[in-house]
């Protein structure tokens, strides 16, 4: 079977993505994989077609789409990417008949490219639905459903619905995502909308559940009896950083809790300003770290933090959960009330949750985690990862529709 995988971000020369890990499962099973991904201006990767251990990777030159860039520039680049992809795939993969087309969101704007190759080659299509746009932008006040900004919303909503219609199968991040998609898109009744979340390879070694934190505590001058709470990931508007700052302020006198925050994003400077101004003694903010260095911190931290803005009406399911579970950490999820990432953690014994507009509830979750059996919770999280979030699990979920 020939598989065309369309995406914006993909692996670089430095980092292997979860998408690549999933696609390699198809290659191992004897299938051919052809990737088309964005090669954004100034990204540092060479555009064009390359071969990487049996996988064809086409890097399509585009404008800047991801990262901290002006909204107008991002919008123009996003709207032109469909045409660029279709033209590049036609040229680079001429003569190849695709049997299956797979693609994650974001973006929704590759819908014409998907539709073209589906019709031309009578291919099956599978959408890996990672976020729900444009509603997520509406939730954060970046887009409106009415007025002049409503024109943009209607345009993207039309593309979203078209993408769902062109997809034979839709793999969602969680049960709440499945329910949301079907409720707000009743025309999808009868389509296969299923849970197929982010996935990761199983590490060669089982994580250490009884954490050895002395080296990390020495590096950052952390009290010996403090519990280390780690947040690693994007620091942007979706994470509800003002709420995090309020929580850090509340916990600033708590000698039993120490917070390490690692990441980049539009709200990084806001956290930095809080630290510079109020000088909490139990918070460290770290800019971007290479994966190996970040993993060293994760392996020595006690608890992982998941943050989502309380305004979200869509059930987001952040992928950083997998990194925490792979490291044997329990989690605290401070989120909106619509996602099920926190309730799933609570129900399966590997975490606590609260709403991300309730500082007192967050403080209680911190205290509960300090006194919890974190080693046992870490084991339960590891078991949940093995049963739900492995590459093999996702591969089998997709495979059953196309391969006997």
pLDDT, tens digit, 9 for 90 and up, residues 92-110: 999 999 999 999 987 788 8
Do strands 48-52 and 55-62 pair parallel, antiparallel, or not at all (unpaired)? antiparallel
Q: 292 falls in which pLDDT band (50, 70, 90)?
A: confident
pLDDT score of 388 more than 80: yes
Structure tokens at 380: 């339960």
Q: 50 falls in which pLDDT band (50, 70, 90)?
A: confident
Q: Give the CA count within 13 Å in the CB-facing half-sphere of 333.
A: 29
Calculate mean pLDDT across residues 77-96: 88
Calculate mean pLDDT across residues 31-59: 84
Do domains 2-200+390-399 and 214-388 share one topology? The answer is yes
Q: What is the pLDDT of residue 189?
A: 85
Q: Taking the CA atoms of the chain, what radius of gyration do you get in angstroms? A: 22
Per-position DSSP letters for 48-68, written without gaps between them: EEEEETTEEEEEEEE---SSS
Place of tokens 């009868």: 190
pLDDT digits (tens, 9 = 90+) for 156-204: 899 999 999 999 999 999 999 999 999 999 999 888 999 999 999 898 8
pLDDT digits (tens, 9 = 90+) for 121-144: 999 999 999 989 989 989 888 888
Give the other-Cβ count within 10 Å of 316's Cβ: 24
Query: How many whole angstroms separate alpha carbon 160 and alpha carbon 109?
Result: 8
pLDDT score of 386 more than 60: yes
CATH 3.40.50.2000 fits 2-200+390-399, yes or no: yes
If you classify domain 214-388 with CATH, what class do you get? alpha beta
The residues spanned by each domain of the chain are 2-200+390-399, 214-388
Q: What is the pLDDT of residue 14?
A: 55
Q: 343 falls in which pLDDT band (50, 70, 90)?
A: very high
Calculate mean pLDDT across residues 226-251: 95
Query: Contact at 8 Å (CB) between 323 and 298?
Result: yes
Calculate mean pLDDT across residues 362-366: 97
Q: What is the pLDDT of residue 44?
A: 63
Calculate mean pLDDT across residues 284-313: 93
pLDDT score of 13 more than 60: no
Calculate mean pLDDT across residues 249-254: 94
pLDDT score of 371 more than 70: yes
CA angle centred on 311, ends 166 and 271, rounded to 5°: 115
Query: Contact at 8 Å (CB) between 280 and 252?
Result: yes
**Average per-residue pLDDT in the chain?**
91
Sign of the torsion angle spanned by Cα atoms 179, 183, 184, 189: positive
* From 47-56, 116-125, 224-233, the region with the lowest mean pLDDT: 47-56
Query: How many whole angstroms separate alpha carbon 338 and alpha carbon 310?
Result: 9
Q: 76 falls in which pLDDT band (50, 70, 90)?
A: confident
| Bridge partner list, 262 | 232, 286
Q: 402 falls in which pLDDT band (50, 70, 90)?
A: confident
What DSSP element (H or E) covers 280?
Answer: none
Query: How many whole angstroms separate alpha carbon 347 and alpha carbon 345?
Result: 6
> Where are the extended beta strands (E) located within 247-337?
257-262, 283-286, 303-307, 331-335
Calculate mean pLDDT across residues 340-369: 97
Q: What is the pLDDT of residue 75?
A: 67
Q: What is the pLDDT of residue 177?
A: 96
């Amino acid at each position: 079977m020939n598989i065309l995988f369309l995406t914006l971000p993909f692996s670089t020369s430095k980092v292997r993505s979860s998408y690549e890990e999933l696609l390699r499962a198809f290659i191992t099973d004897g299938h051919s994989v052809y990737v088309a991904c964005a090669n954004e201006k100034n990204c540092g990767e060479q555009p064009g077609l390359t071969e990487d251990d049996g996988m064809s990777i086409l890097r399509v030159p585009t404008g800047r789409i991801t990262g901290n860039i002006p909204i107008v520039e991002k919008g123009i680049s996003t709207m032109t990417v469909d045409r660029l992809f279709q033209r590049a795939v036609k040229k680079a993969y001429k003569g190849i008949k695709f049997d299956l087309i797979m693609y994650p969101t974001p973006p929704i704007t590759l819908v014409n490219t998907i539709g073209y190759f589906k019709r031309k080659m009578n291919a099956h299509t599978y959408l890996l639905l990672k976020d729900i746009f444009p509603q997520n932008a509406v939730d954060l006040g970046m887009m409106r459903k009415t007025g002049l900004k409503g024109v943009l919303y209607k345009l993207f909503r039309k593309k979203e619905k078209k993408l769902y219609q062109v997809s034979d199968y839709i793999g969602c991040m969680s049960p709440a995502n499945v329910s949301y998609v079907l409720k707000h898109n009743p025309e999808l009744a009868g389509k296969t909308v299923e849970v197929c979340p982010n996935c990761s390879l199983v590490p060669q070694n089982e994580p250490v559940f009884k954490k050895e934190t002395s080296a990390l505590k020495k590096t950052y001058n952390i009290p010996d009896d403090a519990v280390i709470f780690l947040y690693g990931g994007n620091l942007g508007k979706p994470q509800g950083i003002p709420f995090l700052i309020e929580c850090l302020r509340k916990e600033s006198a708590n000698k039993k809790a120490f917070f390490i925050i690692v990441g980049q994003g539009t709200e990084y400077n806001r956290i930095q300003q809080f630290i510079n101004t109020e000088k909490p003694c139990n918070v460290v903010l770290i800019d971007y770290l290479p994966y190996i260095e970040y993993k060293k911190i994760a392996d020595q931290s006690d608890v992982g933090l998941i943050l989502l803005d309380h305004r979200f009406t869509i059930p987001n399911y952040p992928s950083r959960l997998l990194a925490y579970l792979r490291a044997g950490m329990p989690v605290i999820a401070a989120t909106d009330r619509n996602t099920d990432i926190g309730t799933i953690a609570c129900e399966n014994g590997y975490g606590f949750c609260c709403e991300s507009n309730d500082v007192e509830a967050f403080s209680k979750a911190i205290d509960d985690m300090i006194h919890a059996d974190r080693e046992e919770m870490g084991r339960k999280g590891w078991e949940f990862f093995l049963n739900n979030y492995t590459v093999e699990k996702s591969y089998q979920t997709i495979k059953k529709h196309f391969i006997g």
